[in-house]
Structures are given as structure tokens and as C-alpha cells.
Amino acid sequence: MRYEEIDTPVPRDNEVRIRVHAASVNAGDWHLLRADPFLVRLAFGLFKPKVNILGADLAGTVESVGQKVTQFAPGDAVFGDISPRGFGAFAEYACAPESLIAIKPENLSFSEAAAVPAAGVTALQALRDSGRIRPGENVLVNGASGGVGSYAVQIAKALGAEVTGVCSTRNLDHVRTLGADKVIDYTREDFTQAGALYDLIHAANGDLPIDAYRRALRPGGRYVMSGGATRQFYQAALRGPWISMTSKVRMGSMLVKPNQSDLVVLREFLESGKVKPVIDRSYPLAEVPDAIRYMENEHAQGKIIIRVADGD
């Protein structure tokens, strides 16, 4: 990766150009950078990446709008996940269709707002859409201290569930502060062998065989994989549908679908205080490679922020 000057992007008719104040790093950035899993190459370039500028999440100020834009005007503070447009958030300016952004929550800084879109929408869709969460259910979040997991714990609680968070020893207190009713240290206890059964398991991280997750589901239970090791990804995608057809549980993976309406749902949670962003650390724009390296090699506690503009 190189830090260099490029031309300022020009918005299309249905797009806005955003002066980026802050962005955040997601697992998708280093999956794309490393082409891991290998299937990434089929969509984003077989021998070299098609994407020149990484970065999905951003928060910033609308600088100009295309001729067909109706929802936003210059000066609006916005946030969103622009990955469907081809990424590009790790830059001073980025363009995005108005359908991918929303007005920034009033009570959040730009850095806090940049920590929300991809991880928050992934957690929301995994629980609400793929997991069909219902009030009063017992929900387990594996990887509860990470970017997606931190939101999953809070959203599940906001939706009325009893939540168990699985994380490492150093993150136990952190996950409790997110609202988890119970916390399991995976370095000391294997929740799939403990005998407890759950209505919904959200694997936001981890590397467990799919049959282990299956043991921890009660009849009618659901397992949704949104992140974790490559093995976990392939098993959820390939074996999950077969298990769902031949047993009394439903298991599979999900892919996030960035959209404006879910950003609005999250904004309501954020402005009400039911959900709060969790930021591990931040880096200036010139140090994006170091930020991605930290995500790749460490267990981040929440989100990693890229500071782009001064004054946030």
C-alpha cells in the first residue's frame, strides 16, 4: 500500500462527494488485501486487486452532489458503508450513491460514526434477518469483543434477548459493559461442551467446527456465521444448508447488504443510547497499513479508526 496524491473523485448523477473526516478498518479490507479466502480473487481480481483504494466505512461532510441527488445537500454530516461502490474510504474524498449513506447521528463524533456502518449493519442483519431474533430468546455471540460482536451484543440486548458473550480473558469485563448477561472465557471453557443450549448463535468470529455449534443449539435454533476463520466460512456456506434440510436446526452464513434504511435503524439505537460504538485505537491516514496490520495480528477490542481530517 502507498500513501500518495490522486485526482479528486467526481460524483456521478446519483452520487455525493464526501469530504472524509474519519474511516474505519474492517476485516473485509485485509481479506481483500490478502485475497483470503481464495474466492475473493474471483470477485475482486484473479492476479491483482481491482480495488485501488480500500476502506468501506466513512463519516464526513457532503461537499457536492450529483444532478439527480434529492436527499442530501452540501454541508450535511453523513455516514455509511460505500463498499458496493468499490470501496475508497481511505482517502480525503470519496463518492457514494445517496442510497448508501445517511445523516450522521447527532450525538456521535465523526470518528464514532465511522465505527458503525459495516460492523453495525452486519450485526443487525445477522440477528434480525438471518437469525430472526425474538424477545426473550437465549442468544450467544462468539467473538463478542470484536467490531461486529460488540454491536451484536448491544443490538441483541436492545431487541430483548438474553445474551451470552464469548471472548478471551482480557475482554471479559469489556463484554460485560456492553450488556451481556453472561460472559464465557473461551480460553478456559468450551461453550459447545458445557451443555447449555441456545436459540440463536451468531458467530462473529472464531474457528469452531460447524458440528460443535450444532451441539449448542436447541431444536428450532439458528446459527448465523458472519466472520471468523476460513474453515468456519466454508463449513457454514457448504454444510450449513445440508444440516438445515436434514435436522431441526438452521445453520448458514450471511453476507451484509449495505443500505440506507438499516443505517437509519442504527442511528435510532445510537441516538437513544441503546447502542454505543466501541473504538480500540485510531491511526492517521498515512498509517493505514499499520492499522490493517494491527487488525490482522491482534484481537481488536471494538473498531479501529482512520483519522482523515483534523478537528474531529
Average pLDDT estimate for 169-176: 96
Residue 30 pLDDT > 90 = no
Same domain, 123 and 89: no
Q: What is the CATH number of the domain that holds 137?
A: 3.40.50.720
Contact present, 228 and 205 (Cβ < 8 Å): yes
Using a pLDDT cut of 90, give the percent of the chain over it: 86
Same domain, 238 and 128: yes
Domain membership flag for residue 105: yes
How, if at all, do strands 217-225 and 198-203 pair?
Answer: parallel
Q: Grade residue 296 by pLDDT with cuts at 50, 70 and 90.
A: confident
Identify the domain containing residue 196 by its residue range.
118-253
Q: Grade residue 267 by pLDDT with cuts at 50, 70 and 90.
A: very high
Same domain, 220 and 101: no
Residue 270 pLDDT > 90 = yes
Q: What is the CATH number of the domain that holds 90?
A: 3.90.180.10
Same domain, 33 and 135: no
Same domain, 216 and 293: no
Domain membership flag for residue 263: no
What is the distance between the alpha carbons of residues 60 and 110, in angstroms, rounded to a whole number? 6
What is the distance between the alpha carbons of residues 21 and 113, in angstroms, rounded to a whole number? 10
Q: Structurally, how many domains does the chain consist of? A: 2
For residue 287, the model assigns a pLDDT of: 97
Same domain, 137 and 249: yes
For residue 311, the model assigns a pLDDT of: 56
Cut 0.85: pTM above it: yes
For residue 310, the model assigns a pLDDT of: 67
Domain membership flag for residue 100: yes
Q: Grade residue 43 by pLDDT with cuts at 50, 70 and 90.
A: confident
CA 209 from chain center: how many Å?
Answer: 22
Phi, psi of 263, deg, nearest 5: -65, -35
Phi, psi of 58, deg, nearest 5: -150, 160
Residue 200 pLDDT > 80 = yes
Same domain, 22 and 63: yes
What is the distance between the alpha carbons of residues 156 and 141, in angstroms, rounded to a whole number? 9
Residue 248 pLDDT > 60 = yes
Contact present, 84 and 27 (Cβ < 8 Å): no
Residue 170 pLDDT > 80 = yes
Residue 142 pLDDT > 90 = yes
Using a pLDDT cut of 70, give the percent of the chain over it: 99
Same domain, 61 and 136: no
Domain membership flag for residue 7: no
Same domain, 105 and 151: no
For residue 312, the model assigns a pLDDT of: 56
What is the rounded average pLDDT for all residues in the chain? 95
Average pLDDT estimate for 73-102: 97
Domain membership flag for residue 151: yes
Average pLDDT estimate for 13-28: 96
